[in-house]
Structure 1
Amino acid sequence: MLVAALVLVLLAAGPAEAGTLLPERGGSPNADRIASLYTVVLVLAGLVFAGVTCALAFALWRYRERRNPVAAQIHGNTRLEIAWTLAATALIVFIAAFSLSKLGAIENADTAAASPAAVAAGVVAPGDGQALHIEVVGRQYVWMYRYPGGAYSYGEMVAPTGVTVKLDIVSVDVAHSWWIPKLGGKFDAIPGYVSHTWFRISRPGLYRGQCAELCGRNHANMLAQVRAVAPEEYAAWTRRQKRLIAEAEAARNRDAPSFASHGAG
Protein backbone atom coordinates (compact mmCIF):
# COMPACT_ATOMS: atom_id res chain seq x y z
CA MET A 1 0.00 0.00 0.00
CA LEU A 2 2.83 2.38 0.84
CA VAL A 3 4.50 1.76 -2.53
CA ALA A 4 1.21 2.28 -4.38
CA ALA A 5 0.59 5.53 -2.52
CA LEU A 6 4.10 6.74 -3.35
CA VAL A 7 3.59 5.96 -7.04
CA LEU A 8 0.30 7.88 -7.07
CA VAL A 9 1.93 10.89 -5.42
CA LEU A 10 4.75 10.91 -7.96
CA LEU A 11 2.32 10.64 -10.87
CA ALA A 12 0.18 13.45 -9.52
CA ALA A 13 3.24 15.65 -9.07
CA GLY A 14 4.50 14.98 -12.59
CA PRO A 15 4.04 18.50 -14.01
CA ALA A 16 5.68 20.07 -10.96
CA GLU A 17 8.66 17.71 -11.18
CA ALA A 18 9.61 18.56 -14.77
CA GLY A 19 13.37 18.49 -15.09
CA THR A 20 13.96 16.57 -11.85
CA LEU A 21 14.79 13.19 -13.34
CA LEU A 22 15.46 14.29 -16.91
CA PRO A 23 16.79 17.46 -18.58
CA GLU A 24 14.13 19.92 -19.63
CA ARG A 25 12.90 19.86 -23.21
CA GLY A 26 10.65 21.93 -25.44
CA GLY A 27 12.81 24.99 -26.04
CA SER A 28 15.32 23.99 -28.72
CA PRO A 29 16.12 20.89 -30.81
CA ASN A 30 19.46 20.34 -29.08
CA ALA A 31 17.76 20.38 -25.66
CA ASP A 32 15.20 17.85 -26.94
CA ARG A 33 17.99 15.54 -28.14
CA ILE A 34 19.76 15.75 -24.78
CA ALA A 35 16.51 14.85 -23.01
CA SER A 36 15.91 11.94 -25.42
CA LEU A 37 19.40 10.60 -24.78
CA TYR A 38 18.88 10.75 -21.03
CA THR A 39 15.46 9.08 -21.38
CA VAL A 40 16.83 6.10 -23.31
CA VAL A 41 19.72 5.61 -20.87
CA LEU A 42 17.37 5.92 -17.87
CA VAL A 43 14.92 3.37 -19.30
CA LEU A 44 17.68 0.88 -20.09
CA ALA A 45 19.21 1.38 -16.65
CA GLY A 46 15.78 0.80 -15.10
CA LEU A 47 15.32 -2.43 -17.04
CA VAL A 48 18.75 -3.70 -16.01
CA PHE A 49 18.07 -2.79 -12.38
CA ALA A 50 14.69 -4.53 -12.49
CA GLY A 51 16.24 -7.65 -14.07
CA VAL A 52 19.04 -7.86 -11.51
CA THR A 53 16.60 -7.28 -8.65
CA CYS A 54 14.26 -10.00 -9.90
CA ALA A 55 17.16 -12.44 -10.35
CA LEU A 56 18.38 -11.71 -6.84
CA ALA A 57 14.88 -12.14 -5.37
CA PHE A 58 14.43 -15.42 -7.25
CA ALA A 59 17.78 -16.73 -6.00
CA LEU A 60 16.91 -15.81 -2.41
CA TRP A 61 13.56 -17.59 -2.73
CA ARG A 62 14.78 -20.60 -4.73
CA TYR A 63 17.75 -21.38 -2.55
CA ARG A 64 16.33 -20.43 0.83
CA GLU A 65 17.51 -22.45 3.82
CA ARG A 66 14.12 -24.10 4.51
CA ARG A 67 14.08 -25.65 1.05
CA ASN A 68 17.84 -26.26 0.72
CA PRO A 69 19.34 -26.97 4.16
CA VAL A 70 22.58 -27.95 2.43
CA ALA A 71 24.05 -25.15 0.32
CA ALA A 72 24.16 -25.90 -3.40
CA GLN A 73 27.69 -25.97 -4.83
CA ILE A 74 27.51 -24.29 -8.22
CA HIS A 75 30.89 -24.03 -9.95
CA GLY A 76 29.80 -22.19 -13.08
CA ASN A 77 27.44 -22.07 -16.02
CA THR A 78 29.22 -21.41 -19.29
CA ARG A 79 26.09 -20.72 -21.32
CA LEU A 80 24.73 -18.28 -18.76
CA GLU A 81 28.06 -16.47 -18.48
CA ILE A 82 28.35 -16.16 -22.27
CA ALA A 83 24.74 -14.94 -22.47
CA TRP A 84 25.09 -12.15 -19.93
CA THR A 85 28.47 -11.11 -21.38
CA LEU A 86 26.97 -10.80 -24.87
CA ALA A 87 23.90 -9.00 -23.49
CA ALA A 88 26.03 -6.47 -21.61
CA THR A 89 28.24 -5.94 -24.68
CA ALA A 90 25.21 -5.39 -26.92
CA LEU A 91 23.76 -2.92 -24.43
CA ILE A 92 26.98 -0.90 -24.26
CA VAL A 93 27.35 -0.88 -28.04
CA PHE A 94 23.75 0.29 -28.47
CA ILE A 95 24.15 3.11 -25.92
CA ALA A 96 27.42 4.20 -27.55
CA ALA A 97 25.92 4.19 -31.07
CA PHE A 98 22.77 6.00 -29.95
CA SER A 99 24.81 8.60 -28.04
CA LEU A 100 27.11 9.26 -30.99
CA SER A 101 24.12 9.62 -33.31
CA LYS A 102 22.74 12.36 -31.03
CA LEU A 103 25.97 14.13 -30.09
CA GLY A 104 26.70 15.33 -33.59
CA ALA A 105 23.31 17.03 -33.87
CA ILE A 106 23.62 18.44 -30.34
CA GLU A 107 27.05 19.99 -30.91
CA ASN A 108 26.58 21.18 -34.50
CA ALA A 109 24.20 24.04 -35.08
CA ASP A 110 20.98 23.48 -36.99
CA THR A 111 21.58 24.33 -40.64
CA ALA A 112 17.91 24.74 -41.54
CA ALA A 113 17.01 27.96 -43.31
CA ALA A 114 15.60 30.78 -41.24
CA SER A 115 11.86 31.36 -41.34
CA PRO A 116 10.49 33.63 -44.08
CA ALA A 117 9.47 36.11 -41.39
CA ALA A 118 13.07 36.33 -40.16
CA VAL A 119 14.35 36.94 -43.68
CA ALA A 120 11.66 39.53 -44.35
CA ALA A 121 12.52 41.36 -41.11
CA GLY A 122 16.19 41.48 -42.08
CA VAL A 123 17.33 39.39 -39.11
CA VAL A 124 19.35 37.11 -41.42
CA ALA A 125 20.10 37.03 -45.12
CA PRO A 126 18.23 34.65 -47.43
CA GLY A 127 19.65 31.16 -47.95
CA ASP A 128 20.17 27.88 -46.14
CA GLY A 129 22.30 27.72 -43.05
CA GLN A 130 21.98 31.39 -42.15
CA ALA A 131 22.33 32.00 -38.41
CA LEU A 132 22.29 34.91 -36.02
CA HIS A 133 25.49 35.35 -33.96
CA ILE A 134 25.24 36.70 -30.43
CA GLU A 135 28.15 37.08 -28.01
CA VAL A 136 27.57 36.12 -24.38
CA VAL A 137 29.92 37.86 -21.95
CA GLY A 138 30.13 36.72 -18.35
CA ARG A 139 31.25 39.11 -15.64
CA GLN A 140 30.73 39.29 -11.90
CA TYR A 141 27.73 39.15 -11.54
CA VAL A 142 25.76 39.78 -14.71
CA TRP A 143 25.53 38.45 -18.25
CA MET A 144 26.06 40.85 -21.12
CA TYR A 145 24.83 40.13 -24.65
CA ARG A 146 26.27 41.73 -27.79
CA TYR A 147 24.19 41.63 -30.97
CA PRO A 148 25.14 42.25 -34.61
CA GLY A 149 25.15 45.95 -35.46
CA GLY A 150 26.33 47.24 -32.10
CA ALA A 151 23.33 46.64 -29.84
CA TYR A 152 23.86 45.06 -26.44
CA SER A 153 21.88 44.27 -23.31
CA TYR A 154 22.41 43.08 -19.75
CA GLY A 155 20.64 40.34 -17.83
CA GLU A 156 18.20 39.36 -20.58
CA MET A 157 18.94 38.19 -24.10
CA VAL A 158 16.35 38.95 -26.77
CA ALA A 159 16.31 36.36 -29.57
CA PRO A 160 14.11 35.87 -32.64
CA THR A 161 12.06 32.75 -33.23
CA GLY A 162 12.56 30.60 -36.30
CA VAL A 163 16.28 31.38 -36.50
CA THR A 164 19.33 29.37 -35.48
CA VAL A 165 21.16 31.46 -32.90
CA LYS A 166 24.88 30.73 -32.48
CA LEU A 167 26.48 31.87 -29.24
CA ASP A 168 30.11 32.79 -28.57
CA ILE A 169 30.56 32.61 -24.80
CA VAL A 170 33.43 34.43 -23.07
CA SER A 171 34.36 35.82 -19.67
CA VAL A 172 36.16 39.02 -18.68
CA ASP A 173 37.09 38.03 -15.13
CA VAL A 174 36.57 34.56 -13.60
CA ALA A 175 35.05 31.27 -14.75
CA HIS A 176 31.27 31.34 -15.29
CA SER A 177 28.85 28.91 -16.94
CA TRP A 178 25.92 29.96 -19.11
CA TRP A 179 22.96 27.61 -18.77
CA ILE A 180 19.35 27.87 -19.92
CA PRO A 181 18.06 24.29 -19.30
CA LYS A 182 15.29 24.35 -21.92
CA LEU A 183 17.70 25.59 -24.59
CA GLY A 184 20.42 22.97 -24.21
CA GLY A 185 23.43 22.05 -22.13
CA LYS A 186 25.52 24.44 -20.06
CA PHE A 187 28.70 25.95 -21.45
CA ASP A 188 31.58 27.43 -19.51
CA ALA A 189 32.69 31.03 -19.92
CA ILE A 190 36.45 30.91 -19.35
CA PRO A 191 38.79 33.93 -19.46
CA GLY A 192 40.89 33.81 -22.63
CA TYR A 193 38.77 31.10 -24.26
CA VAL A 194 35.65 31.15 -26.45
CA SER A 195 32.97 28.46 -25.99
CA HIS A 196 30.33 27.85 -28.63
CA THR A 197 26.75 26.62 -28.50
CA TRP A 198 23.47 27.26 -30.26
CA PHE A 199 19.69 27.09 -29.98
CA ARG A 200 16.66 27.50 -32.20
CA ILE A 201 13.35 28.54 -30.65
CA SER A 202 10.11 27.95 -32.51
CA ARG A 203 7.66 29.80 -30.25
CA PRO A 204 7.83 33.12 -28.37
CA GLY A 205 8.39 32.72 -24.66
CA LEU A 206 10.63 33.32 -21.68
CA TYR A 207 13.42 30.86 -20.86
CA ARG A 208 15.20 31.18 -17.53
CA GLY A 209 18.54 29.92 -16.27
CA GLN A 210 21.55 31.04 -14.31
CA CYS A 211 25.30 30.87 -13.96
CA ALA A 212 26.14 27.23 -13.19
CA GLU A 213 29.73 27.81 -12.03
CA LEU A 214 30.55 29.18 -8.58
CA CYS A 215 32.01 32.58 -9.48
CA GLY A 216 32.05 34.54 -6.23
CA ARG A 217 29.99 35.72 -3.29
CA ASN A 218 27.04 36.89 -5.45
CA HIS A 219 27.03 33.86 -7.74
CA ALA A 220 23.40 33.06 -6.84
CA ASN A 221 22.30 36.45 -8.19
CA MET A 222 23.85 35.90 -11.62
CA LEU A 223 20.67 34.89 -13.39
CA ALA A 224 20.30 34.35 -17.14
CA GLN A 225 17.19 34.85 -19.24
CA VAL A 226 16.28 34.56 -22.92
CA ARG A 227 13.15 36.25 -24.24
CA ALA A 228 12.13 34.81 -27.59
CA VAL A 229 10.09 37.16 -29.76
CA ALA A 230 8.83 37.28 -33.33
CA PRO A 231 11.52 38.28 -35.88
CA GLU A 232 9.90 41.65 -36.64
CA GLU A 233 9.75 42.42 -32.91
CA TYR A 234 13.41 41.47 -32.55
CA ALA A 235 14.37 43.75 -35.43
CA ALA A 236 12.42 46.64 -33.89
CA TRP A 237 14.00 45.98 -30.49
CA THR A 238 17.55 46.04 -31.87
CA ARG A 239 16.87 49.31 -33.72
CA ARG A 240 15.49 50.88 -30.57
CA GLN A 241 18.34 49.52 -28.48
CA LYS A 242 20.97 50.94 -30.84
CA ARG A 243 19.23 54.32 -30.84
CA LEU A 244 19.13 54.42 -27.03
CA ILE A 245 22.80 53.44 -26.82
CA ALA A 246 23.76 56.13 -29.34
CA GLU A 247 21.77 58.74 -27.40
CA ALA A 248 23.41 57.71 -24.13
CA GLU A 249 26.90 57.88 -25.64
CA ALA A 250 26.17 61.29 -27.20
CA ALA A 251 24.97 62.60 -23.83
CA ARG A 252 28.08 61.25 -22.13
CA ASN A 253 30.38 62.85 -24.69
CA ARG A 254 28.47 66.11 -24.43
CA ASP A 255 28.81 66.21 -20.66
CA ALA A 256 32.44 65.06 -20.55
CA PRO A 257 34.05 68.52 -21.28
CA SER A 258 32.00 70.20 -18.55
CA PHE A 259 33.23 67.65 -16.03
CA ALA A 260 36.81 68.18 -17.20
CA SER A 261 36.59 71.97 -16.98
CA HIS A 262 34.91 71.74 -13.59
CA GLY A 263 37.74 69.57 -12.34
CA ALA A 264 40.34 71.94 -13.76
CA GLY A 265 38.69 74.93 -12.08
Structure 2
Amino acid sequence: MAPTATYPNLRRTILAALALAALGLLAFAGVASADLATPESGGSSNADDIDTLYKFVLVLAIIIFIAVEGVLVYSLIKYRNRKGAVAAQIHGNTKLEIGWTVGAAVLLVVLGGVTFAFLGDIRNPPNSSANGYNGPGTEPVKFASAEDRQPPNGRALRIQVNGQQYLWRYTYADGDDNRLNNVFAYTEMVVPTDTTVTLAIKAQDVIHSWWIPQLGGKFDAVPGHTNYTWFKIPGDKAGQVFRGQCAELCGRNHANMVATVRAVTPDQYKLWLAGKKRAIETGNKAVIAQRKALFPTEEDQVTEDSAVNPTP
Protein backbone atom coordinates (compact mmCIF):
# COMPACT_ATOMS: atom_id res chain seq x y z
CA MET A 1 0.00 0.00 0.00
CA ALA A 2 2.88 2.40 0.66
CA PRO A 3 4.01 2.75 -2.98
CA THR A 4 0.41 3.36 -4.07
CA ALA A 5 -0.06 6.07 -1.46
CA THR A 6 3.08 7.96 -2.47
CA TYR A 7 2.57 7.68 -6.25
CA PRO A 8 0.47 10.88 -6.60
CA ASN A 9 3.09 12.84 -4.66
CA LEU A 10 5.87 11.44 -6.84
CA ARG A 11 3.99 12.35 -9.99
CA ARG A 12 3.41 15.91 -8.79
CA THR A 13 7.10 16.22 -7.89
CA ILE A 14 8.18 15.06 -11.36
CA LEU A 15 5.73 17.42 -13.08
CA ALA A 16 6.91 20.33 -10.93
CA ALA A 17 10.55 19.51 -11.72
CA LEU A 18 9.81 19.37 -15.47
CA ALA A 19 7.96 22.70 -15.31
CA LEU A 20 10.87 24.34 -13.46
CA ALA A 21 13.34 22.89 -15.97
CA ALA A 22 11.31 24.27 -18.89
CA LEU A 23 11.13 27.70 -17.27
CA GLY A 24 14.87 27.59 -16.65
CA LEU A 25 15.59 26.78 -20.29
CA LEU A 26 13.41 29.68 -21.42
CA ALA A 27 14.91 32.08 -18.92
CA PHE A 28 18.49 31.30 -19.89
CA ALA A 29 17.94 30.99 -23.64
CA GLY A 30 19.93 33.63 -25.50
CA VAL A 31 16.99 35.07 -27.44
CA ALA A 32 14.44 34.82 -24.62
CA SER A 33 16.67 36.60 -22.14
CA ALA A 34 17.87 39.34 -24.51
CA ASP A 35 17.72 42.46 -22.34
CA LEU A 36 15.57 40.23 -20.08
CA ALA A 37 12.77 42.64 -19.06
CA THR A 38 13.34 45.56 -21.44
CA PRO A 39 13.44 46.07 -25.23
CA GLU A 40 16.62 45.31 -27.10
CA SER A 41 18.76 48.29 -28.08
CA GLY A 42 22.28 49.28 -29.04
CA GLY A 43 21.93 49.20 -32.81
CA SER A 44 20.34 52.59 -33.48
CA SER A 45 19.51 55.74 -31.55
CA ASN A 46 15.74 55.32 -32.01
CA ALA A 47 15.94 51.83 -30.45
CA ASP A 48 18.00 53.30 -27.60
CA ASP A 49 15.33 55.96 -26.98
CA ILE A 50 12.56 53.34 -27.01
CA ASP A 51 14.54 51.32 -24.46
CA THR A 52 15.16 54.36 -22.24
CA LEU A 53 11.50 55.40 -22.33
CA TYR A 54 10.42 51.85 -21.52
CA LYS A 55 12.78 51.69 -18.54
CA PHE A 56 11.51 55.02 -17.21
CA VAL A 57 7.90 53.81 -17.34
CA LEU A 58 8.90 50.42 -15.89
CA VAL A 59 10.71 51.97 -12.89
CA LEU A 60 7.78 54.28 -12.21
CA ALA A 61 5.35 51.37 -12.46
CA ILE A 62 7.46 49.26 -10.06
CA ILE A 63 7.52 52.10 -7.50
CA ILE A 64 3.74 52.50 -7.69
CA PHE A 65 3.20 48.73 -7.53
CA ILE A 66 5.40 48.35 -4.44
CA ALA A 67 3.71 51.30 -2.73
CA VAL A 68 0.18 50.04 -3.42
CA GLU A 69 0.94 46.42 -2.55
CA GLY A 70 2.84 47.56 0.56
CA VAL A 71 -0.19 49.47 1.83
CA LEU A 72 -2.38 46.46 1.01
CA VAL A 73 -0.15 43.98 2.89
CA TYR A 74 0.21 46.41 5.82
CA SER A 75 -3.57 46.78 6.03
CA LEU A 76 -4.14 43.02 5.84
CA ILE A 77 -1.76 42.43 8.74
CA LYS A 78 -2.66 45.40 10.94
CA TYR A 79 -6.42 45.10 10.52
CA ARG A 80 -6.69 41.31 10.30
CA ASN A 81 -9.60 39.63 12.02
CA ARG A 82 -9.13 39.22 15.78
CA LYS A 83 -11.30 37.49 18.33
CA GLY A 84 -13.81 39.91 19.78
CA ALA A 85 -12.79 42.74 17.42
CA VAL A 86 -15.47 44.81 15.67
CA ALA A 87 -14.78 46.25 12.22
CA ALA A 88 -14.74 50.04 12.09
CA GLN A 89 -17.31 51.66 9.81
CA ILE A 90 -15.52 54.18 7.55
CA HIS A 91 -17.59 56.45 5.31
CA GLY A 92 -14.78 58.06 3.29
CA ASN A 93 -11.89 60.47 3.58
CA THR A 94 -12.17 63.52 1.35
CA LYS A 95 -8.52 64.58 1.71
CA LEU A 96 -7.29 61.07 0.87
CA GLU A 97 -9.52 60.82 -2.18
CA ILE A 98 -8.39 64.24 -3.46
CA GLY A 99 -4.78 63.24 -2.81
CA TRP A 100 -4.79 60.06 -4.87
CA THR A 101 -6.80 61.74 -7.66
CA VAL A 102 -4.27 64.57 -7.92
CA GLY A 103 -1.40 62.09 -7.62
CA ALA A 104 -2.73 59.99 -10.50
CA ALA A 105 -3.20 63.12 -12.63
CA VAL A 106 0.39 64.21 -11.93
CA LEU A 107 1.68 60.78 -12.92
CA LEU A 108 -0.22 60.94 -16.22
CA VAL A 109 1.19 64.40 -16.95
CA VAL A 110 4.73 63.22 -16.19
CA LEU A 111 4.37 60.11 -18.35
CA GLY A 112 2.87 62.12 -21.19
CA GLY A 113 5.56 64.80 -20.98
CA VAL A 114 8.44 62.32 -20.98
CA THR A 115 6.87 60.32 -23.83
CA PHE A 116 6.50 63.38 -26.04
CA ALA A 117 10.05 64.45 -25.16
CA PHE A 118 11.38 61.17 -26.60
CA LEU A 119 8.85 60.82 -29.43
CA GLY A 120 10.50 63.31 -31.77
CA ASP A 121 13.87 61.55 -31.70
CA ILE A 122 12.18 58.18 -32.15
CA ARG A 123 10.11 59.19 -35.17
CA ASN A 124 12.34 61.72 -36.95
CA PRO A 125 15.57 60.46 -38.56
CA PRO A 126 18.77 62.46 -38.04
CA ASN A 127 21.30 63.41 -40.71
CA SER A 128 23.93 60.89 -41.71
CA SER A 129 27.32 61.45 -40.12
CA ALA A 130 30.03 63.25 -42.07
CA ASN A 131 31.91 59.97 -42.56
CA GLY A 132 28.78 58.05 -43.59
CA TYR A 133 27.87 56.79 -47.06
CA ASN A 134 27.15 59.59 -49.51
CA GLY A 135 26.86 57.78 -52.82
CA PRO A 136 23.95 56.92 -55.17
CA GLY A 137 20.68 56.50 -53.39
CA THR A 138 21.25 59.25 -50.81
CA GLU A 139 20.08 62.19 -52.91
CA PRO A 140 17.27 64.34 -51.43
CA VAL A 141 13.86 62.82 -52.10
CA LYS A 142 10.34 64.20 -52.04
CA PHE A 143 8.00 63.30 -49.21
CA ALA A 144 5.68 60.52 -50.29
CA SER A 145 3.34 61.17 -47.35
CA ALA A 146 3.24 62.76 -43.91
CA GLU A 147 4.66 59.51 -42.52
CA ASP A 148 7.61 59.50 -44.92
CA ARG A 149 9.99 61.40 -42.70
CA GLN A 150 13.46 62.33 -43.95
CA PRO A 151 16.56 63.76 -42.26
CA PRO A 152 16.70 67.57 -42.00
CA ASN A 153 18.94 67.78 -45.09
CA GLY A 154 16.75 65.27 -46.95
CA ARG A 155 19.64 62.88 -47.60
CA ALA A 156 19.27 59.23 -46.59
CA LEU A 157 19.80 55.80 -48.07
CA ARG A 158 16.34 54.63 -49.11
CA ILE A 159 15.61 50.89 -49.16
CA GLN A 160 12.28 49.36 -50.13
CA VAL A 161 11.32 46.41 -47.91
CA ASN A 162 8.85 44.04 -49.49
CA GLY A 163 7.30 41.21 -47.46
CA GLN A 164 6.18 38.10 -49.29
CA GLN A 165 5.47 34.59 -48.13
CA TYR A 166 7.95 33.74 -46.65
CA LEU A 167 10.91 36.06 -47.14
CA TRP A 168 11.92 39.70 -47.27
CA ARG A 169 13.13 41.43 -50.44
CA TYR A 170 15.23 44.60 -50.23
CA THR A 171 15.48 46.92 -53.23
CA TYR A 172 18.02 49.74 -53.14
CA ALA A 173 17.42 53.20 -54.60
CA ASP A 174 19.84 54.14 -57.39
CA GLY A 175 19.66 57.92 -56.98
CA ASP A 176 18.20 58.52 -60.45
CA ASP A 177 15.04 60.53 -59.75
CA ASN A 178 14.68 58.27 -56.70
CA ARG A 179 13.67 55.35 -58.92
CA LEU A 180 14.52 51.85 -57.71
CA ASN A 181 17.24 50.16 -59.71
CA ASN A 182 18.01 46.51 -60.21
CA VAL A 183 20.10 46.09 -57.05
CA PHE A 184 18.15 43.86 -54.71
CA ALA A 185 18.72 41.20 -52.07
CA TYR A 186 16.72 38.67 -50.09
CA THR A 187 16.68 37.95 -46.34
CA GLU A 188 19.89 39.85 -45.52
CA MET A 189 19.99 43.64 -45.81
CA VAL A 190 23.46 45.19 -46.09
CA VAL A 191 23.77 48.81 -44.94
CA PRO A 192 26.61 51.28 -44.31
CA THR A 193 27.33 52.52 -40.80
CA ASP A 194 27.04 56.17 -39.75
CA THR A 195 24.37 56.51 -42.44
CA THR A 196 20.68 57.23 -41.96
CA VAL A 197 18.72 54.43 -43.62
CA THR A 198 15.04 55.04 -44.36
CA LEU A 199 12.76 52.09 -45.10
CA ALA A 200 9.60 52.01 -47.19
CA ILE A 201 7.82 48.86 -46.01
CA LYS A 202 5.06 47.07 -47.92
CA ALA A 203 3.76 43.58 -48.69
CA GLN A 204 2.55 41.87 -51.84
CA ASP A 205 0.34 39.07 -50.49
CA VAL A 206 -0.71 39.10 -46.80
CA ILE A 207 0.15 41.23 -43.78
CA HIS A 208 3.69 40.78 -42.47
CA SER A 209 5.58 42.74 -39.83
CA TRP A 210 9.17 44.01 -40.12
CA TRP A 211 11.01 43.99 -36.81
CA ILE A 212 14.72 44.06 -36.00
CA PRO A 213 14.50 44.73 -32.23
CA GLN A 214 17.95 46.34 -31.87
CA LEU A 215 17.16 48.80 -34.68
CA GLY A 216 13.81 50.17 -33.49
CA GLY A 217 10.13 49.38 -33.26
CA LYS A 218 8.22 46.98 -35.49
CA PHE A 219 6.22 48.11 -38.52
CA ASP A 220 3.51 46.21 -40.33
CA ALA A 221 3.96 45.40 -44.01
CA VAL A 222 0.48 45.76 -45.49
CA PRO A 223 -0.58 45.08 -49.11
CA GLY A 224 -1.55 48.34 -50.82
CA HIS A 225 -0.09 50.53 -48.07
CA THR A 226 3.43 51.72 -47.29
CA ASN A 227 4.82 52.22 -43.79
CA TYR A 228 8.02 54.12 -43.11
CA THR A 229 10.74 53.83 -40.50
CA TRP A 230 14.47 54.45 -40.15
CA PHE A 231 17.62 53.46 -38.31
CA LYS A 232 21.23 54.65 -38.12
CA ILE A 233 23.91 52.17 -37.05
CA PRO A 234 27.00 53.69 -35.34
CA GLY A 235 30.41 53.23 -36.94
CA ASP A 236 31.71 51.00 -34.14
CA LYS A 237 29.04 48.40 -35.02
CA ALA A 238 30.56 47.64 -38.44
CA GLY A 239 30.67 43.90 -38.98
CA GLN A 240 27.78 43.23 -36.61
CA VAL A 241 24.65 41.36 -37.75
CA PHE A 242 21.26 42.33 -36.30
CA ARG A 243 18.60 39.64 -36.38
CA GLY A 244 14.83 39.74 -36.45
CA GLN A 245 11.78 37.94 -37.73
CA CYS A 246 8.36 38.60 -39.15
CA ALA A 247 6.25 39.61 -36.14
CA GLU A 248 2.84 38.96 -37.75
CA LEU A 249 1.42 35.47 -38.20
CA CYS A 250 1.41 35.24 -42.00
CA GLY A 251 0.97 31.56 -42.81
CA ARG A 252 2.26 28.06 -42.18
CA ASN A 253 5.93 28.99 -42.72
CA HIS A 254 5.78 32.21 -40.71
CA ALA A 255 8.52 30.99 -38.34
CA ASN A 256 10.95 30.72 -41.26
CA MET A 257 10.49 34.35 -42.34
CA VAL A 258 13.65 35.67 -40.72
CA ALA A 259 15.46 38.92 -41.43
CA THR A 260 19.01 40.12 -40.84
CA VAL A 261 20.73 43.47 -41.23
CA ARG A 262 24.50 43.39 -41.69
CA ALA A 263 26.36 46.62 -40.94
CA VAL A 264 29.49 47.39 -42.96
CA THR A 265 31.68 50.45 -43.41
CA PRO A 266 30.74 52.91 -46.20
CA ASP A 267 33.71 51.70 -48.29
CA GLN A 268 32.70 48.07 -47.83
CA TYR A 269 29.15 48.99 -48.78
CA LYS A 270 30.34 50.53 -52.05
CA LEU A 271 32.21 47.32 -52.89
CA TRP A 272 29.18 45.20 -51.99
CA LEU A 273 26.87 47.38 -54.11
CA ALA A 274 29.22 47.25 -57.10
CA GLY A 275 29.54 43.46 -56.77
CA LYS A 276 25.77 43.09 -56.63
CA LYS A 277 25.35 45.19 -59.77
CA ARG A 278 27.90 43.10 -61.66
CA ALA A 279 26.28 39.85 -60.54
CA ILE A 280 22.83 41.03 -61.60
CA GLU A 281 24.10 42.29 -64.96
CA THR A 282 25.84 38.98 -65.59
CA GLY A 283 22.71 37.06 -64.66
CA ASN A 284 20.56 39.29 -66.85
CA LYS A 285 22.81 38.75 -69.89
CA ALA A 286 22.82 35.00 -69.35
CA VAL A 287 19.04 34.86 -69.12
CA ILE A 288 18.64 37.09 -72.19
CA ALA A 289 20.99 34.90 -74.20
CA GLN A 290 19.13 31.77 -73.13
CA ARG A 291 15.77 33.37 -73.88
CA LYS A 292 16.91 34.43 -77.33
CA ALA A 293 18.12 30.92 -78.08
CA LEU A 294 14.80 29.38 -77.04
CA PHE A 295 12.46 32.05 -78.43
CA PRO A 296 14.17 33.90 -81.29
CA THR A 297 10.94 35.60 -82.39
CA GLU A 298 10.49 37.24 -78.98
CA GLU A 299 13.90 38.88 -79.07
CA ASP A 300 12.55 42.41 -79.02
CA GLN A 301 10.43 41.66 -75.93
CA VAL A 302 13.35 40.65 -73.75
CA THR A 303 14.94 43.40 -71.68
CA GLU A 304 17.44 43.37 -68.89
CA ASP A 305 14.77 44.85 -66.60
CA SER A 306 12.48 41.85 -67.00
CA ALA A 307 15.08 39.11 -67.18
CA VAL A 308 16.30 38.59 -63.65
CA ASN A 309 14.78 41.39 -61.67
CA PRO A 310 10.97 41.28 -62.05
CA THR A 311 8.94 43.96 -60.33
CA PRO A 312 8.28 42.84 -56.73
TM-score by length of 1: 0.87
Q: Distance in 1 between matches of 2:215 and 2:295?
A: 47
- Give me the whole-angstrom Cα distance separating, in 2, the residues matched to 1:13 and 1:213: 25
Q: State the alpha-carbon separation in 2 of the partners of residues 261 and 17 from structure 1.
A: 59
Secondary structure of the 1:19 match is coil
Deviations 1:156-179 (A, max 9, x none): 000000011000001111111111
User: Equivalent residues in 2 for 1:4-43 (5 A)?
Assistant: 17-43=33-59
Post-superposition shift, 1:115?
3.0
- Give the SS at the match of 2:160: strand
Amino acid of the structure 1 residue aligned with 2:194: G
State the SS of the aligned residue for 2:98: helix
Percent of aligned positions that are identical: 47
User: What code does the residue aligned with 2:243 have?
Assistant: R
Local SS of the residue matching 1:76: coil
Closer, same or farther in 2 for the Cα pair 1:209/1:68, shift >3 Å? farther
2:167 to 137, 142, 156: 142
Alpha-carbon distance change, 180 to 37 in structure 1, aligned in 2, over 3 angstroms: same
Shift in Å, 1:68: 7.4
- Indicate the residue corresponding to 2:284 in structure 1: 249
2:155 corresponds to:
130
Distance in 1, matches of 2:245 and 2:218, equals 10
Tell me how far 1:59 sits from its aligned partner. Answer: 1.0
Q: Is this contact kept in 1: 2:132–2:195, CA < 8 A?
A: no
SS of 1:241 mapped into structure 2: helix
Structure 2 equivalent of residue 81 of structure 1:
97
Compared CA separation, residues 159 and 67, structure 1 to 2 (3 A): farther
How many Å separate the matches in 1 of 2:261 and 2:94?
A: 58
Structure 1 regions of 5+ residues with no counterpart?
1-8
Q: CA 1:194/1:81 → structure 2, altered by over 3 Å: closer, same or farther?
A: same
- Look up the match of 2:253: 218
Q: Which amino acid aligns with 1:74?
A: I
- The aligned residue for residue 6 of structure 1 is none
SS at match of 1:225: strand
Cα shift at 1:118:
2.5
Q: Paired residue for 2:223?
A: 191
The separation in 2 between residues aligned to 1:103 and 1:200, in whole angstroms, is 16
Equivalent AA in structure 1 for residue 292 of structure 2: P
Superposed counterparts of 1:52-91, under 5 Å: 52-66=68-82, 69-91=85-107
- Higher RCO structure, 1 or 2 (CA under 8 Å, sep 6+): 1
Gaps of 5+ in 2: 1-23, 141-151, 175-180, 298-312
**CA deviations over 1:184-223 (Å, ceiling 9, x no partner):** 1111111111100000000211000011111111111110
What's the Cα RMSD here?
Answer: 2.5
Cα distance in 2 between the residues matched to 1:13 and 1:68: 52
Q: Secondary structure at the match of 1:75?
A: coil
Q: What corresponds to 1:114 in structure 2?
A: 129
- Number of residue pairs the alignment of both structures matches: 251
1:93-142 residue CA offsets vs partner (Å, 9 max, x unmatched)? 111111122222211212x34332534x6774699452111110111111
Look up the SS of the partner of 1:115 in the other structure.
Answer: coil
